Structure 1
Amino acid sequence: MLRQALALERQTGNDRCTAETLQLLGETERGRGNYHPAERLLDESLVIYRQLEDRPGVCAVLSVKAGVRRYQGDYEGATALFGEALALGRASGDVRRVADVLARLGNLASEQGSPSQSLPLYEEALALHYQLGDTSGIADVLSRSGEAATQMGDYAGAVVFCEQSLELYRSLGTNYGVAYVLLNQGEAASGMGDLEGGKALTAQSLALFQEIGDRRCIAFALEQLAGVAREQHDYRQALALYEESLELHCGLNTRPGIARCLEGMARLACAQGLGERAGRLHGAATALHEAMKSAMAPAARVRYGQEMTAVRGQMENEAFTAAAAEGRTMSLEQVMDYAHDELSAGRAGA
C-alpha cells in the first residue's frame, strides 16, 4: 500500500506527502532489519523536507536515521544525527522534539556503557515532558532511567523508576511500554538475586513483545532469560535461549545485541569450565565493542571481568590469550558460524 501511495504522490507532485511516505517506508525497512534500504528511503525523504524547509520533518527523519545507525552499532553516526535534530528542535522551539531527542541521546550513552552520562539528559527530558503534560513521554523517560539505574547496579532505584513508569503505561494501555518496563524490572530483580522473580517478569515481557511482533526486543528478552537460566545452572536451557536470541539479532544485524549474546555465551562457557571457548567468544565480543566504541554496562562489566579472570586462572594464561586473540580476528560471519557450532556442541554435551 505504501509503495502504491508513493507512486501516486510522485505522479501528482505532492512533495510533502511523498516525503512522509518515504519516511514511513524507511521506518518499515528499519523494523525489518533492512538498514541500507531504510537509509536510502530516509535520505530521499530528508532531501525533500529540507527543500520544503520543514524543520519538524527534518528532525523526525534525522531521529529515525539515528535509530538505524544505533541498531547497527554506529554510535558516533547516531550521536551526530541526534545532535543535529536536537539543535534544530531547540532553534525552532519544538519542546516535544527536544525532549524526545534528549531521551534518545541518554539511551545511546547507556548502550555505550556510560549510563551515568545519561542521567542529566533524562532529567532534562523528564522536566520538559512534565512541562508539556505528556504522560507517555514521562513514562518513557522513567523507564529509561530505570534501565540506566539497573546498568549502574542501583537496583532499588531502578525498581522505583520502573514502578512509576509501569503505572503510567498501564493507565495509557500502551503494551509496548509495559513490555519494556517488565523487561527492565526482570533484569533488576535478577540483579538483586531474585532469579525466579526476574524470570517471571522477563517471561511476561517476552509474551507481550511476541504479541506485538518486535523481533529486536524479543531477542533481548530471550537473551535475558538465557542469563537467568545460566545463573540457575540450567545450561541446556541457556544454550537454547542464546541460540534463539542470536539468530534473531543476526537476522536483524543488530550488532549491540550480537555483542551481548556473545558475552553471555562467554559467561556460560566460563560456568562450564570451557576456557578456550570462553576466550574466543570474549575476544569476538571485545572486537565488536571496539568497533562500535562501546562497552558493557558497569554492573555487568565487574562480574564479567571476575569470571574471565577466574577461567583464565584455570588454564594456561597464554592459551586463554591466544583464544581471545583468535576471536578478535574473526569476521562477523566467522563469529556467527563459530557460535552456532559451539552452541550445537554444547547442546549435545549439556
Structure 2
Amino acid sequence: MRALQLERLDGPEGLKLVDVPEPEAGDQVLIDVVAAGVSFPDLLLTKGQYQMKPPLPFVPGVEVAGVVRSAPAGAGVKAGDRVMAFMMLGGWADVVAAPPGMTFRIPEGWSFEAAAGTVMNYHTAHFALHRRGRLKSGETVLVHGAAGGVGTATIQVARGAGARVLAVVSSEDKAEVARTAGADKAFLSTGDWVSQVKEATGGRGVDVVMDPVGGDIFDLSLKCLAPEGRLLVVGFAGGRIPEVKVNRLLLKNVDVVGVAWGAFVMQEPSLTAEIAKGLAELSDKGFVEPVVGQVFPLEQAAQALRELDSRKATGKVVLRVRQG
C-alpha cells in the first residue's frame, strides 16, 4: 500500500511516498482510509520537536476517516461502517489499524473530510473545557487560534455548553471563520485585544481562556481572567513556552491548568467513551459541525504541513487518500 514516510527530521521535506506492507489487523480495527487529518503534532513530529520521538522511518498521521474492512468482536463498529479514528502514528496511508476504543462511527451527513479532523480536536476541546476547565453555562470563554481546527472545535463545544465565546485571531479573514463557527465576537491579535476583551465583559474578564499558542499570548491572557478564572494551557504553537510568576495567580485567585488529552486517556481510557457520548449529543443538537479548511491529495502532505507552519491555515487541514 501507499504510505507517506518520514525519512529525515527535516520538517515537511523529510517526507517520502513509499510502498509498505499493509498492517496486520490483530485486535485492532482495520480501516481503508479515505481522508486523514493534518495536525500540529504531525508538524512537530517531522521536526523531531514532539514529546514522542519514534525511530525513523515512520508514517505520521494521528487521525483518519474511512471504511472499516474488519473489526474485532466487541469493537462497537463492524465491516462496512463509515468511521473516524485517532492513532498516534500511521494515519497517512491507504490502510490503518486503529484502536477499537478510539474508533467511532461518523454521524449521518458528515463527509469523510469533516470526520478526519474531528476526534483529536473535539475530544481535546471537550476535555479541556469540561474536565479541566470546569466550564459552566453562562460563563465566558476566550479562544486563541480560534480559526484553526482546535479553535473552531472549542468555539462549538463551548457554545454547546451554554457559554459566551470571544475569539482572538490574526486576520480579518480568520475572524470571519471564527464568527461562522459560532464566536460571539472576534478580535485581532495585532490590536489591543486585551482592552477589547475587558470592554466586552464589562471590565470583569473571562472565566476560561483556551490557549494553544503560548508565548506572549499566555502572558497577556492572564490579564484577561475574571476572579476564579482558568487559563487552559493546550500547546505552544507560537514557539515559546511561557513562565508565570505564581504571585499573580495568588493575587487574582486564578488557575493555570494543563491540558494533555492524549496523555490522560492513556491513563483513563474510559473517558474516551464519555466524551464521545457528549459530543454525539452536541452533534445531534447542531453544535458540532467540523470546519474543513484546505484539502490536499496525500502526496502533497508536505505542502499541507507548510500551511500549518506558516499559520495560514483555517479550519482543519485534511489529506484526501482515496475517493470515498
TM-score range, shorter chain: under 0.3
Q: Which has the higher strand share?
A: 2
More helix by proportion, 1 or 2? 1
Higher relative contact order, chain-length normalized (CA < 8 Å, sep 6+): 2
TM-score normalised over the length of structure 2: 0.26
Query: Rg larger in 1 or in 2?
Result: 1
